[in-house]
Structure 1
Amino acid sequence: MAVTVSRDLMVHVLEDVNAVKLTDRQQALRTAIQRGEPKCLGVSQVMLGLMVMSYSIPLHFTELTEVVSLGVPWWSGLTFITAGVVAIILDKHSTMKILQVCLMVSVVSTVLSVVAVIIYSVDMDKNPEVLCLETLHDNCNVKHYATRLSRGVKSSLLLFTLAQTAISAFLCFLLFRQRRSFGQYASLTQAAPSSPQAFIPPNLN
């Protein structure tokens, strides 16, 4: 903070270099974040979360497997939606605090996406499609269609979750790079006044 004293003993507080530097870096942070388009990635995450949760509804009417009993589509879908909402907020309010929260949520979303992919893969391997056994009416039995529907839905959910894993990992990379670039300015929490101010000393007479 620069200070000057005039001949009439008036103290002038000039523009703070740190305040200007902080403002410039905050603007640079906002530009860098928006260059990565977190809003588009956030909307994609929200849409994937809603699709995962809606596509999983038919699984409740088929054979109960690990995916349904563990509620994988529901907690993974809610995680995707949460990560997407935080990314959209980051696009609107580009601060270091929100960036760190978004980075943490994105890391959690990535980890849970990988876990969900593993559960889907194991479930599909343990529950193969039942062969078509023709009945007297030359039609396959009900279990064949049920397992076929179940595997088809799980395949779709697996693809959505893989897409979410890629989006979350990419967003984590962008946010980690921005946090590393601008993290040193997070300690500057309060800036000095940007306009000069005058301090009039008290009259000692």
Structure 2
Amino acid sequence: MAVSVSRDLTVQVLPDVNTVKLSDRQQELCAAVKRGEPKCLGVSQVMLGLMVMSYSIPLHVTELTQVVTLGVPWWSGLMFITAGLVAILLDKQCTLKMLQVCVIVSLVSILLSLVAVIIYAVDIGKNPEGECVGGRTCSDQHFAMKFSNGVKRALLIFTLAQTTISAVLCYLLLRQKRTFGQYASLAQDVTTSSSTLAAPDLN
């Protein structure tokens, strides 16, 4: 905190250089994060989560496989929606703490997406469609498995798209965090120093 005293003995408190620098850097961080468009990526994550959950509904009518019994579309879809909502909140509340939360949620989303991709691939491999008898007449189970595997392939593509979006968002946020992370300690120093300063007794 800088103080200037004029000739008529009036005291003027000047803004702290570190506080000004910190606020400038926070504004630069917000501008840099918004250039990465976390809101758009968040909306796309929410849409993918809703699509995964809605596309999985027909799987409950067909043959029950590991994807349905493990509830893969439901927990992966909920994770996609959560990651998208956190990214949308980051666009509104641009702080380093919120950025860290968004990075952690994006990393968890990537991890769960990869687990879901593995489960989809294994499930499709374990439950083949089967061949038609005599090459012409096909059973109802053949068509049910064909439909089920088609839905699972679509869910697999959506999950891969979610993995890509989460990875891109995580990369952009980690780059911004590395650039502006050095000012987190400055923010703590400024708040502690301003809270410990007391007004002098002039009487």
* TM-score > 0.5, shorter chain as reference: yes
1:150 is displaced (CA, Å) by: 0.5
TM-superposition CA deviations, 1:137-190 (whole Å, max 9, x none): x75211011100100000000000000000000111001001111111123045
Q: Which runs of 5+ in 1 are unaligned?
A: 194-198
Structure 2 distance, partners of 1:143, 1:67, is: 17
2:40 is aligned to: 40
Report whether the alignment pairs 1:25 with 2:25: yes
2:117 is aligned to: 117
Q: Decide which of 143, 146, 149 is 2:147's aligned counterpart.
A: 149
Bigger fraction of residues in helix: 2
2:173 is aligned to: 175
Q: Match for 1:27: what amino acid?
A: Q
1:12 is displaced (CA, Å) by: 2.7
Q: For 1:182-193, what aligned pairs fall within 5 Å after superposition?
A: 182-187=180-185, 188-189=187-188, 190=190
1:64 is displaced (CA, Å) by: 1.2
% identical aligned pairs? 68
2:4 is aligned to: 4
What SS does the aligned partner of 1:186 have?
helix
Structure 1 distance, partners of 2:178, 2:10, is: 42
Relative contact order higher in (CA < 8 Å, ≥ 6 apart): 1
Structure 1 distance, partners of 2:16, 2:166, is: 39
- The answer to whether the Cα contact below 8 Å between 1:9 and 1:201 also exists between their aligned partners in 2 is no
- The answer to whether the Cα contact below 8 Å between 1:49 and 1:77 also exists between their aligned partners in 2 is yes
1:83 is aligned to: 83
What SS does the aligned partner of 1:146 have?
helix
TM-superposition CA deviations, 1:92-119 (whole Å, max 9, x none): 1111111000000000000110110011
1:6 is displaced (CA, Å) by: 4.1
1:9 is displaced (CA, Å) by: 5.1
1:130 is displaced (CA, Å) by: 2.1
1:164 is aligned to: 162
Say what the alpha-carbon RMSD is for the aligned residues.
Answer: 2.1
1:13 is displaced (CA, Å) by: 1.8
Q: Match for 1:31: what amino acid?
A: A
Structure 1 distance, partners of 2:145, 2:169, is: 36
1:201 is displaced (CA, Å) by: 5.0
1:133 is displaced (CA, Å) by: 3.0
1:62 is displaced (CA, Å) by: 1.1
Bigger mean CA offset, 181-190 vs 6-15: 6-15
1:196 is aligned to: none
1:13 is aligned to: 13
| Residues matched between the structures, number | 196
Q: Which runs of 5+ in 2 are unaligned?
A: none
TM-score (norm 1): 0.89
TM-score (norm 2): 0.90
What SS does the aligned partner of 2:160 have?
helix
Structure 2 distance, partners of 1:121, 1:105, is: 24
Structure 1 distance, partners of 2:142, 2:40, is: 40
1:52 is aligned to: 52
1:131 is displaced (CA, Å) by: 1.8
